[in-house]
């Protein structure tokens, strides 16, 4: 099993900087995902780990062994890094059989013929294709081809598996089942994995830790629960699906709670979290599903209750979505259809008044 240590990693093409000073440690047996929008530098980072791309600065170490360091003039070729890679495009040889595709890295390493046959069969069994060895890969479905490329990646028993958006070409249902399958396989083999995706659900479902990237920079590294519940800034909150990103100013900060003055002038109580300076402009992130909403039946308002006007109502199946004018901004709330009656919202129409109730625990304060 490989542990990876990346220090001050940089990559530029001419004067264009793609990755600037990336720091990352991946533990033995860990499943780490690079998550970010298209063009943020995920593939470039993965290809530098693989040895398919040379860094322009910094070092990459596998355990004690430096595999890339332009300063020290070290560069270890991909075939000497003991890793397997799975690409979005599968990258199989269409004119070869399943067996020959999976055997390829073993032949590259000049393994003995009997050993190759055994390892190919083992790898095919792992991905459920034991009976497909003699088929031509061009006769297989997309999902089966992706399984062949996974078998090829693990056939030589590498210490590290690298995945670049391996499920993006599959339909939604197959993607969901392959997600579970890949994670189970990685755990069973205990191989360290670095996985690239732009799909937040995939990242959260599969990973031990997630690194959120934007424009070649690390926005946040943490467990899926950290990233989902406690995004560090507006970009991460937006990327992991917080529908409401409001703006306010810190009025008071304490480790357990803080007070925010919203742009509309209202005071909002929020969870403590990371230290903030009084007067700092912050982003207040709220999940639409955590914005409690009721009809405005009385004038009583508790702390963190805010008057709202319904601007639009949309039926989403299990829930109903309300776009509200509230806190001087637009706030989106989703209410389960089964709770509409109790909330007095069964007949709610645009123009009606309502009240938004925010539990301080659901109000996430992040960097603006
Ligand atoms: N060979 C290259 N020459 C110049 N720019 C490149 C090259 N390869 C990638 N880039 C640029 O690097 C940036 C990051 O690309 P990439 O790592 O593929 O992003 P991602 O995988 O996150 O979508 C993009 O702006 C891309 O245009
Ligand atoms: Mg990419």
Q: Is 176 in the same domain as 290? A: no
Nearest protein CA to atom 18 of ligand 1, as residue: 43
Q: Is 298 in the same domain as 173? A: no
117: in domain: yes
Helices 113-126 and 172-189 meet at what angle, rounded to 10? 130
| Nearest ligand to the C-alpha atom of residue 88 | 2
Nearest protein CA to atom 24 of ligand 1, as residue: 39
pTM of the predicted model as reported, rounded to 2 decimal places: 0.91
* Centroid of ligand 2 to alpha carbon of 164 (angstroms): 7
Q: Is 204 in the same domain as 247? A: no
The greatest distance separating any two alpha carbons of the chain, rounded to the nearest whole angstrom, comes to 82
Nearest protein CA to atom 12 of ligand 1, as residue: 18
148: in domain: yes
Nearest protein CA to atom 17 of ligand 1, as residue: 41
* Centroid of ligand 2 to alpha carbon of 37 (angstroms): 9
Q: Is 218 in the same domain as 265? A: no
Nearest to 211 by CA among 225, 201, 222, 202: 222
Ligand 1 atom nearest to 46, measured from its CA: 17
* Centroid of ligand 1 to alpha carbon of 54 (angstroms): 13
Q: Given this model, what pLDDT does residue 360 score? A: 94
Q: Is 224 in the same domain as 276? A: no
* Centroid of ligand 1 to alpha carbon of 60 (angstroms): 19
Q: What are the backbone dihedrals phi and psi of residue 261, each rounded to the nearest 5 degrees, phi first?
A: -95, 115
**Mean of pLDDT values over 105-116:** 88
Asked if residue 299 has pLDDT above 80, the reply is no
Nearest to 38 by CA among 215, 230, 185: 215
Q: Given this model, what pLDDT does residue 130 score? A: 93
* Centroid of ligand 1 to alpha carbon of 19 (angstroms): 10
CATH number at residue 182: 3.40.50.300
Ligand 1 atom nearest to 41, measured from its CA: 17
Q: Is 223 in the same domain as 250? A: no
Rounded CA-CA distance 51/166 in Å is 19
| % helix, strand, coil for the chain, step of 5 | 30, 35, 35
Nearest protein CA to atom 6 of ligand 1, as residue: 13
* Centroid of ligand 1 to alpha carbon of 18 (angstroms): 7
Percent of the chain with pLDDT over 90: 85
Ligand 1 atom nearest to 47, measured from its CA: 17
* 3 state DSSP class of 182: helix
Q: Which of the four pLDDT bands, split at 50, 70 and 90, describes residue 288?
A: very high
Select from 229, 258, 285 the last residue of a domain.
229
Nearest protein CA to atom 1 of ligand 1, as residue: 13
List ligand 1's pocket residues with C-beta within 6 A.
13, 18, 36, 38-44
Ligand 1 atom nearest to 213, measured from its CA: 22
| Nearest ligand to the C-alpha atom of residue 39 | 1
Rounded CA-CA distance 316/226 in Å is 28
* Centroid of ligand 1 to alpha carbon of 57 (angstroms): 17
Q: Where are the alpha helices (DSSP H) in 80-220?
A: 98-108, 113-126, 142-154, 172-189, 200-206
Q: Is 179 in the same domain as 246? A: no
Q: Is 159 in the same domain as 306? A: no
Nearest protein CA to atom 4 of ligand 1, as residue: 13
Percent of the chain with pLDDT over 70: 100
| Nearest ligand to the C-alpha atom of residue 168 | 2
Cα separation values, 349 from 289, 315, 332, Å: 19, 12, 15
Q: Is 328 in the same domain as 272? A: yes
* Centroid of ligand 1 to alpha carbon of 53 (angstroms): 11
Q: Given this model, what pLDDT does residue 271 score? A: 87
Rounded CA-CA distance 45/53 in Å is 9
* Centroid of ligand 2 to alpha carbon of 335 (angstroms): 36
Residue from 19, 35, 39 whose mutation best tests the ligand 1 pocket (most atoms within 8 A of CB): 39
Select from 208, 229, 250 the last residue of a domain.
229
Q: Which of the four pLDDT bands, split at 50, 70 and 90, describes residue 110?
A: confident
Ligand 1 atom nearest to 164, measured from its CA: 21
Select from 229, 263, 287 the last residue of a domain.
229
Nearest protein CA to atom 26 of ligand 1, as residue: 39
Asked if residue 111 has pLDDT above 80, the reply is yes
CATH number at residue 298: 2.40.50.100
191: in domain: yes
Provide the residue range defining the domain that includes 287: 242-367
Q: Which of the four pLDDT bands, split at 50, 70 and 90, describes residue 256?
A: confident
236: in domain: no
In the chain, the number of structural domains is 2
54: in domain: yes
* 3 state DSSP class of 121: helix
**Mean of pLDDT values over 295-308:** 89
């Amino acid at each position: 099993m490989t542990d990876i240590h990346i220090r001050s990693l940089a990559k530029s093409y001419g004067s264009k900087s793609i990755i600037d000073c990336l720091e990352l440690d991946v533990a033995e047996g860990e499943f780490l995902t690079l998550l970010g929008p298209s063009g943020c530098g995920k593939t470039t980072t993965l290809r530098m780990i693989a040895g398919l791309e040379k860094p322009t600065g910094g070092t990459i170490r596998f355990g004690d062994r430096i595999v890339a360091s332009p300063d020290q003039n070290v560069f270890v070729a991909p075939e000497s890094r003991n890793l397997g890679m799975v690409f979005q495009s599968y990258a199989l040889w269409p004119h070869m059989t399943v067996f020959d595709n999976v055997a390829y890295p073993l032949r590259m390493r000049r393994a003995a013929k009997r050993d190759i046959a055994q390892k190919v069969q083992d790898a095919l069994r792992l991905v459920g294709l034991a009976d497909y060895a003699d088929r031509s890969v061009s006769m297989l479905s997309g999902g089966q081809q992706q399984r062949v490329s996974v078998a090829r990646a693990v056939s030589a028993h590498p210490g590290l598996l690298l995945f670049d958006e391996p499920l993006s070409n599959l339909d939604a249902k197959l993607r969901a089942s392959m997600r579970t399958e890949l994670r189970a396989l990685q755990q069973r083999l205990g191989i360290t994995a670095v996985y690239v995706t732009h799909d937040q659900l995939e990242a959260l479902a599969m990973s031990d830790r997630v690194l959120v990237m934007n424009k070649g920079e690390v926005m946040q590294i943490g467990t899926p629960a950290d990233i989902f519940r406690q995004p560090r800034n507006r970009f991460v909150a937006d990327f992991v699906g917080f529908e409401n990103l409001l703006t306010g100013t810190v009025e008071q900060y304490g480790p357990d709670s803080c007070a925010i003055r919203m742009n509309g002038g209202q005071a909002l109580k929020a969870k403590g979290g990371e230290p903030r300076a009084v007067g700092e402009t912050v982003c207040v992130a709220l999940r639409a599903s955590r914005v409690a909403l009721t009809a405005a039946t009385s004038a009583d308002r508790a702390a963190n209750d805010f008057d709202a006007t319904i601007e639009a109502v949309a039926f989403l199946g299990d829930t109903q979505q309300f776009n509200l004018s509230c806190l001087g901004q637009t706030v989106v709330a989703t209410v389960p259809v089964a709770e509409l009656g109790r909330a007095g919202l069964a007949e709610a129409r645009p123009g009606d008044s309502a009240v938004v109730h925010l539990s301080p625990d659901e109000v996430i304060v992040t960097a603006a």
